[in-house]
Amino acid sequence: MQLSIVIVNYNVRYFLEHCLRSVSRACAGITAEIIVVDNRSTDGSVEMVMEKFPDVILIANQENTGFARANNQGVAKASGDYILYLNPDTIVAED
């Protein structure tokens, strides 16, 4: 695995969906995994990831553990040679 992308989410379903779409397109041609750590969102983020992005590794916390701890949870699941921390309001260019 070349790249692990860790995204921490909290109640930004709309942005997360667009972020995941852009990241998926940008990762074409490389071996990559996307890890979303959700900090107990109440906006349907977890359900959206499960429904629309079944290949994403999802960690659905039962409490808001905070940004740093959630990033550490994602890295613990990562298997890539490189780690990219990405905010869920980021759109990645396809190239």
pLDDT digits (tens, 9 = 90+) for 40-69: 999 999 999 999 999 999 999 999 999 999
pLDDT given for residue 10 in this prediction: 98
Of 93, 86, 94, 88, the residue nearest 6 (C-alpha) = 86
Structure confidence at residue 85 as a pLDDT band (50, 70, 90): very high
Query: What are the Cα distances from residue 80, in Å, to 33, 39, 52?
Result: 8, 23, 23
Structure confidence at residue 95 as a pLDDT band (50, 70, 90): confident
Position 68, amino acid: A
Q: What is the pLDDT of residues 2-35, one digit of tens each?
A: 999 999 999 999 999 999 999 999 999 999 999 9
pTM (predicted TM-score): 0.96
Is 80 exceeded by the pLDDT of residue 92?
Answer: yes
Is 90 exceeded by the pLDDT of residue 80?
Answer: yes
